[in-house]
Chains A and B, each alone.
Chain A
Amino acid sequence: MSNIKYILGSFGDPDEMMHGIEKLQENNIKIHDVYTPMPIHGIEAKLGIKRSRLDILAFFCGITGTMSAFALIYLTSVVDWRHNIGGKPAFALPDFIPIMFEVTILFCAFGLVGSYYASTHLFPGRAPRVMDLRATDDRFIIAVDAKENADHSKIDGLLKEAGAIEVKHNERKYISYE
């Protein structure tokens, strides 16, 4: 058994990479992940990545913000300490709207981005799990788990056939740790 952990197909063109994904899938070879320097549309459907639910979450964060702002204003300036401003009513809903709106946006944005960072494991100082350093520059990388898929020469052949510029056999999963 060889020490090869991952086989990387490095493509110079996103369309060729898509072709590579199709080729591998036709041959029932499971793809570990794909690393690209830019978002590629249509790839998530191919790899069976589910639709994001961040939009639903953003909505509920926003609503929480609206209600929090209303509660804050209502409890402070209607319940706790009424101001007498020219005898006008303390419960002046139209005046509450600007702050309710701003806090809605604030909660929505922070809740959304916070969950995004949490769900994709992004946080300051996290060790980057990079398989190929050029994946953030000009290469589109398809990573295949070498242990799960034994026929390495077939994978090499398929990737090359699809237009891979080079095929790498990595003995370490992530090269960015040193």
Chain B
Amino acid sequence: MSGHNESILREPLITGSDITYAKITDDILMPVENKPNRAWWIGFIVSLMGATLWLVAVSYTFWNGIGAWGLNKTVGWAWDITGFVWWVGIGHAGTLISAVLLLFRQNWRNSINRSAEAMTIFAVICAATYVVSHMGRPWLAYWVLPLPNQFGSLWVNFNSPLVWDMFAISTYFSVSLLFWYTGLLPDIATIRDRATGLRRRVYSIFSFGWSGNVKTWQRFETVSLILAGISTPLVLSVHTIVSMDFATSVIPGWHTTIFPPYFVAGAIFSGFAMVLTLLLVARKVLGLENYITMFHIESMNKIIILTGSIVGVAYLTEFFIAWYSGSEYEAYAFVNRSTGPYWWAYWMMMTCNVISPQLLWFKKIRLSIPATWILSIVVNIGMWFERFVIIVTSLHRDYLPSSWAMFYPTWVDVSVFVGSIGVFFTLFLLFLRVLPSIAIAEVKLLLKTSSEQAKLAQIKEGHLDKVQVKEYVESLEKFDSVKQEEYAKI
């Protein structure tokens, strides 16, 4: 805690010159303790309309069966599994931020992990509803579980990646929820101790009686570290298994060993894009510029360049191997993807996922909030198309040319997808109102070491290397929340 200062070369993680522990609590709890503003209500009503649409479309599917979707004899998976993989992928960034970055001691995760993890949970909920509704007879969804049964005592097929997927997604969801909720306990206690009346009672129940004594905190840190340690391989395994839903089949275009790493990179790529889409708005509307700084945004953009480039390399490798393998079916699947009737989807994917993220190499673009926000949405569109291309173009022209077909979505397909976005945003907006969107306790940890004011005090003491100080002051220029004139005289 005390005794040593962080290197001046590291950019501050909390900006502003009058930040105290009390101010951190006040700033972060502002949306929780006050009435929502107009922006929130508008967003919430629009999302709720989306969620209602989802309810209608999913009920319609349950009632009429999956014939309500545009699927046909040839294309048996389309928007449903596209949506499923898209949502699961989005979820991965939350775990990456909370687990992998914790193991690597990346302190900048402290101010974005809470909302990213919430996003994970909501995204996995959206994904899981797709899995259930695509089963056709959702009331029999429990058949995927290995339960003793009366149907001739036939067990589930443990060799099937679809069964692995059930285990992976349910473990992922429950472990993420556990990790998220355990981290929330101290912050719920903070709300509890500031509230009165009924509000205090409600938060008291959900705080599990947290008191913040030494032993609880010490154990808390052990638990967080172990959970991070086990969540890291978990998150990698989840998308690996999702990719095996495809890779273990014998469909050209799916049957490739590159799928697991390629899907995992794609998942992190799309997840970080979604985190940016949400947080760039949340930081502005909730006034959290001092905690989610330009440094955070730039760091996330750098991860997007990295994972986007991995995805790009994977696309090219896949293409090369399709030709190099000498398998004419495989080669055809790829020629058909890029030049066949779905060429527009393929090139949409290529542009959005491979070309446009490369713009982030330019510092100006990387540090521009509007540009970053637009690019984050472009990436998400691209990643949706990636899954669509993989699924539909591999299926629509099978081994028998007489059964070649195209896929046309019905209004139900479109409504389930648009509606699931509504469900996601409804849950996220409710989360912003009832729980702190930033991990309060974890941000307080940074105040004395990594905040702008601590570093400014260090500079004023005057024992630091002049060159390093100069470099530090220059790095502050990109921050929109730093008062530059304070540094003009240094």
Name A's B-contacting residues (CB within 8 A).
12, 14-15, 18, 33-44, 47, 49, 52, 54-55, 58, 62, 72-73, 76-77, 80-81, 83, 85, 88, 92, 95-96, 98-99, 101-103, 105-106, 108-110, 112-113, 116-117, 119-131, 133-138, 176
B185: chain A residues at CB < 8 Å are 122
B25 on interface, CB distance cutoff 8 Å: yes
Docked-complex contact A15 and B2, CB < 8 angstroms: yes
Our pick among B167, B186, B222 for the contact of A37 (Cβ within 8 Å) is: B186
Docked-complex contact A136 and B212, CB < 8 angstroms: yes
B154 on interface, CB distance cutoff 8 Å: yes
Using a Cβ cutoff of 8 Å, how many contacts connect chains A and B? 201
Docked-complex contact A120 and B175, CB < 8 angstroms: no
Stretch at the interface among B278-286, B360-368, B442-450: B442-450
B463 on interface, CB distance cutoff 8 Å: no
In the complex, which residue of chain A has the Cβ closest to the Cβ of B240?
A: A98
The 6 listed contacts between A and B (C-beta, < 8 Å) are A15-B2, A36-B217, A37-B440, A98-B241, A108-B230, A112-B226
Bound together, the chains give a CA A124 to CA B202 distance in angstroms of 10
B168 on interface, CB distance cutoff 8 Å: yes
Our pick among B167, B174, B209 for the contact of A122 (Cβ within 8 Å) is: B209
B182: chain A residues at CB < 8 Å are 113, 116
In the complex, which residue of chain B has the Cβ closest to the Cβ of A99?
A: B167
A136: chain B residues at CB < 8 Å are 186, 189-190, 192-193, 210, 212
Distance in Å: Cβ of B169 to nearest Cβ of chain A: 9
Which residues B171-188 have CB closer than 8 A to chain A?
Answer: 171, 174-175, 178-179, 182, 185-186
B155 on interface, CB distance cutoff 8 Å: yes
16 further contact pairs, Cβ within 8 A, besides A102-B237, A119-B219: A15-B2, A33-B213, A38-B186, A38-B441, A44-B214, A77-B157, A81-B155, A98-B241, A105-B237, A106-B174, A109-B178, A113-B182, A116-B220, A133-B194, A136-B186, A138-B20
Distance in Å: Cβ of A127 to nearest Cβ of chain B: 6
B287 on interface, CB distance cutoff 8 Å: no
In the complex, which residue of chain B has the Cβ closest to the Cβ of A129?
A: B211
Docked-complex contact A109 and B227, CB < 8 angstroms: yes
Our pick among B21, B222, B448 for the contact of A52 (Cβ within 8 Å) is: B222
Bound together, the chains give a CA A62 to CA B441 distance in angstroms of 29
A18: chain B residues at CB < 8 Å are 1-2
B207 on interface, CB distance cutoff 8 Å: yes
B244: chain A residues at CB < 8 Å are 98
In the complex, which residue of chain A has the Cβ closest to the Cβ of B20?
A: A138
Interface string of B157-173 (1 = CB under 8 A from A): 11101011001100100
B227: chain A residues at CB < 8 Å are 109, 112-113
In the complex, which residue of chain B has the Cβ closest to the Cβ of A101?
A: B237
Docked-complex contact B441 and A39, CB < 8 angstroms: yes
In the complex, which residue of chain A has the Cβ closest to the Cβ of B209?
A: A126
Docked-complex contact A34 and B193, CB < 8 angstroms: no
B153 on interface, CB distance cutoff 8 Å: yes
**Dominant SS at the B interface?**
helix
Are A102 and B211 CB-contacts (below 8 A) given A38-B442, A55-B226, A124-B205? no
B230: chain A residues at CB < 8 Å are 58, 62, 105, 108-109
B442: chain A residues at CB < 8 Å are 38
Docked-complex contact A76 and B223, CB < 8 angstroms: no
Docked-complex contact A39 and B445, CB < 8 angstroms: yes
User: Closest 8 interchain pairs by CB?
Assistant: A126-B209, A138-B21, A138-B22, A122-B208, A76-B155, A98-B164, A39-B217, A102-B167
Docked-complex contact B158 and A43, CB < 8 angstroms: no
Docked-complex contact B168 and A98, CB < 8 angstroms: yes
Distance in Å: Cβ of B185 to nearest Cβ of chain A: 7
Are A49 and B215 CB-contacts (below 8 A) given A41-B1, A112-B226? yes
Docked-complex contact B190 and A40, CB < 8 angstroms: no
Our pick among A38, A88, A98, A127 for the contact of B444 (Cβ within 8 Å) is: A38
Our pick among B159, B168, B209 for the contact of A102 (Cβ within 8 Å) is: B168
Docked-complex contact B210 and A49, CB < 8 angstroms: no
Our pick among B178, B204, B210, B216 for the contact of A113 (Cβ within 8 Å) is: B178
Which residues B213-260 have CB closer than 8 A to chain A?
Answer: 213-223, 226-227, 230-231, 233-234, 237, 241, 244
B44 on interface, CB distance cutoff 8 Å: no
B43 on interface, CB distance cutoff 8 Å: no
Distance in Å: Cβ of A102 to nearest Cβ of chain B: 4
Bound together, the chains give a CA A133 to CA B190 distance in angstroms of 9
Tell me which of A106, A122, A125, A137 has the highest count of chain B C-beta atoms within 10 A of its own C-beta. Answer: A137
Docked-complex contact B233 and A128, CB < 8 angstroms: no
Distance in Å: Cβ of A161 to nearest Cβ of chain B: 18
Distance in Å: Cβ of A167 to nearest Cβ of chain B: 19
In the complex, which residue of chain B has the Cβ closest to the Cβ of A106?
A: B171
B444: chain A residues at CB < 8 Å are 37-38
A37: chain B residues at CB < 8 Å are 21, 25, 186, 190, 212, 440-441, 444
Distance in Å: Cβ of A123 to nearest Cβ of chain B: 6
Docked-complex contact A112 and B205, CB < 8 angstroms: no
